[in-house]
Structure 1
Amino acid sequence: MAFLLAVAPAMPAAQEAGTPDMPAVAGPLPPPPDREAQAAVVRADYRYDDLLWENDRTAHRIYGHALEAAEPPSGSGIDSWGKNVRWPFADRQLRSGDQHSYRGEGLDFYNVGSTRGAGGLGIWHDNKLWTSRNYVRHRILSASGQAADFTVDYAPWPVDVDRKVWETRRFTLPLGTHFTRMVSTISSDSDEPLLVGIGIGKRTTGQGAGELTVDRAKGLLSWWGPADGDHGRMAIAIRVDPAMIAEIRADADNQLVLLRVAPGKPFVYFSGSAWDKGQGGFRTRQAWNAYAAGEKLDFGVPR
């Protein structure tokens, strides 16, 4: 699980200073089994096979195939939740029936919609991003403990009329970081190279598109979301291998980094997120950008 090349430095004083005003508590969650820091992966078979994963700092969700019929149009973007506790909360929050309300441990106020959310991907072709539907199969490699670790498969999807592609992706989120490592293998019925677009949704919280910071030399897109009332702000970052970058651009829904990828060859990228009222203490855009740029990440494909 050692994809962090070095231990992250202690949080600077600017991040630690101040206690945020938390949203009003709608009602308590059932108590956790314990209050120790740990990572977790849960398939929510009670909610159309949502896959939830989290560690001591951040929490996420992707959507299962069953949701496509229940809540169309459902897509393969990545959801990001705010959390302010070190132990897992997402499964208990989702089981409450109202994951969008604050119940003392975190909440989901990030609206993925038709965007790529927090690091979903697609194939860039003919000035358009061609994306998969929801995942169709999963395998949990580590459900709890020091890391959340699982794989999902995305069924073949068309890229215009020229080709089809399909993907297997591994997600790994150890304790102590805001970044999930993604190992993506995109196969195709054509050997021609791919342009893979990895995105951050533009209008996923509050009003407006948020503030984007780009550092091509570090392979970084960092987004600081607009304030969303009492909920606060979400922060998202993508880190990619700078040597793979073809272009940084946008479409109507997403900020995108385009990577040159060979079909069938795995590649690594990272998706990170934080809540400005939650774990990590990122109260400003500057603090989040400094962390996202400074995290020392390994883009080597794990064996």
Structure 2
Amino acid sequence: MKRVIYLLFAAVLLASCNSKPKEMAVTVENPSDFDRTTDLVELSLDGVKAKVTLAEGQAYVVKNAKGEIIPSQVTYDGKLVFQSGVKAKETVTFTVSAGEKQEFKAQTYGRFITERKDDFAWENDRVAFRIYGPALIASDGPSNGLDIWYKRTNDMIIDKWYKDELSGTASYHEDRGEGLDDYKVGRSLGAGAMAPFVNGKLWLNENFASQELLENGPLRTTLKLTYKDLDVDGKAYSETRTFSIDAGSQFSKVVQEYGVAEDMTVAAGIVKRPANDTIIVSPEKDYIIYREPSEKAGPVYLGLVFPAGIDSMVVDTYKVANAKTKKDDAYSHVLAVATYKANQPIVYYTGYGWSKFGFADEAAFQTYTSNFSKGLKQPLVVKF
């Protein structure tokens, strides 16, 4: 009798396992009146696991409505992501199933550049960024601002540009058809880094002390930088920055964190040049646009987007002693001033558009930035 019971139990268990669907349907609706084709759809990995079981050696495979396999990625924080492809007011359907592991062309990439004094650089198919590490302090002094590389190719160029620069083959300060490095940072926040703004003063930290690459494409690259404790008006605070970039986006996401037990005024800043620039602040105070009057590159449009809004925009000027020249260097910033809530990271986005790569004028970049901000407030509707 026991043997019969065991056989019945095994049969029921097998039937239960076989009845579990091997794929799941996902519908993605764009509620916006503008296209969001490159926005990433994010599915909880736990939710996917509840619907689709992987056998040993298998991976999740995403297919579009035509049955074509499209690029996807499992992120470090437990999500399955893929590009939505949705146009304005459109709804599309995808399927997620178990299948063979796929290799996709990288559309995002980042690396710790030990061969160039500890830079950390990251990029996608639209834009590129870098930030400075500890080895650079000895020769250039401290700088924890954000640098941008103007690129006009969908290819990944970080490794190529560094290799050519360091070997003397070609300088990345000259545009040879792919773009160039023409942005000047110095002892500033550069293209959108953040610092405490306490008692009317920016409190700048030094170069990052340690780094961690959390994930590296093909659709999202994320890195975390840890800084030495920062003195703010006699108080020491810890500081970390987590940057992530998605394929197709002009912006990098920034999660800024300070170890503070009380609210503090902070500011993300863009270096302000002496002339031929413009500043745009949205009526809702959710984004700022600054036109960078680059002499070599032509107009570049920088943007800061704060989903929760900012308190104000301030133009701030200060002087810093230059250890090399023994003179004071003057810097001005366009600051997006916000309130950092105690024990709560602040999230914002920084990025740019170039007149030679998709943005004919400032109005075009403003439309993109406005839509980007709206998209953050009105997420894609995902059902499965």
Q: Please give the TM-score of this superposition, normalised by the length of structure 1.
A: 0.80
Distance 1:227 1:100 in 2: 12
The answer (yes or no) to whether the contact 2:191–2:350 under 8 Å persists in 1 is yes
Matching of residues 60-139 of structure 1 within 5 Å: 60-72=129-141, 74-97=142-165, 98-139=171-212
Which amino acid in the other structure matches residue 141 of structure 1? L
Q: Say if 2:241 is the partner of 1:169.
A: yes
2:363 to 286, 290, 294: 286
**Which structure has more RCO (C-alpha within 8 Å, separation ≥ 6)?**
1
Report the CA distance between 1:155 and its aligned residue: 1.1
Report the CA distance between 1:228 and its aligned residue: 1.1
Unaligned runs of 5+ in 2: 1-29, 38-103, 166-170, 318-331, 379-384
Q: Say if 2:284 is the partner of 1:224.
A: no
The answer (yes or no) to whether the contact 1:217–1:242 under 8 Å persists in 2 is no
How has the CA–CA distance of structure 1 residues 8 and 179 changed in structure 2, closer, same or farther, with 3 Å as cutoff?
A: farther
How has the CA–CA distance of structure 1 residues 39 and 63 changed in structure 2, closer, same or farther, with 3 Å as cutoff?
A: same
Larger Rg: 2
The answer (yes or no) to whether the contact 2:106–2:217 under 8 Å persists in 1 is no
Distance 1:127 1:201 in 2: 17
How has the CA–CA distance of structure 1 residues 10 and 227 changed in structure 2, closer, same or farther, with 3 Å as cutoff?
A: farther
Task: Give the aligned partner of residue 268 of structure 2.
Answer: 198
Task: Please provide the CA RMSD for this pair.
Answer: 2.5
The answer (yes or no) to whether the contact 2:285–2:311 under 8 Å persists in 1 is no
Matching of residues 1-303 of structure 1 within 5 Å: 9=35, 36=105, 38-72=107-141, 74-97=142-165, 98-161=171-234, 163-188=235-260, 191-203=261-273, 208=275, 210-229=277-296, 231-243=297-309, 245-252=310-317, 253-278=332-357, 281-295=358-372, 296-298=374-376
Unaligned runs of 5+ in 1: 12-34
Which amino acid in the other structure matches residue 120 of structure 2? L
Which amino acid in the other structure matches residue 126 of structure 2? R
Q: Please give the TM-score of this superposition, normalised by the length of structure 2.
A: 0.64
Report the CA distance between 1:289 and its aligned residue: 1.1
How has the CA–CA distance of structure 1 residues 265 and 254 changed in structure 2, closer, same or farther, with 3 Å as cutoff?
A: same
The answer (yes or no) to whether the contact 1:185–1:263 under 8 Å persists in 2 is no
Q: SS in structure 2 opposite 1:66?
A: helix
Report the CA distance between 1:242 and its aligned residue: 3.8
Distance 1:179 1:114 in 2: 23
Task: Give the aligned partner of residue 14 of structure 1.
Answer: none
Report the CA distance between 1:51 and its aligned residue: 0.6
Report the CA distance between 1:266 and its aligned residue: 1.3
Which amino acid in the other structure matches residue 182 of structure 1? V
Report the CA distance between 1:111 and its aligned residue: 0.6
Residue by residue over 1:208-230, the C-alpha shift from the partner in whole angstroms, topping out at 9 and shown as x without a partner, is 2621100151511101111414x
How has the CA–CA distance of structure 1 residues 71 and 262 changed in structure 2, closer, same or farther, with 3 Å as cutoff?
A: same
How has the CA–CA distance of structure 1 residues 147 and 256 changed in structure 2, closer, same or farther, with 3 Å as cutoff?
A: same
| Runs of 4+ with deviation above 4 angstroms | 4-8
Report the CA distance between 1:268 and its aligned residue: 0.8
The answer (yes or no) to whether the contact 1:115–1:202 under 8 Å persists in 2 is no
Distance 1:95 1:208 in 2: 34
Which amino acid in the other structure matches residue 367 of structure 2? A
How has the CA–CA distance of structure 1 residues 155 and 38 changed in structure 2, closer, same or farther, with 3 Å as cutoff?
A: same
Q: SS in structure 2 opposite 1:96?
A: helix
Task: Give the aligned partner of residue 72 of structure 2.
Answer: none
Report the CA distance between 1:292 and its aligned residue: 1.0
- Deviates most, 174-183 or 216-225: 216-225
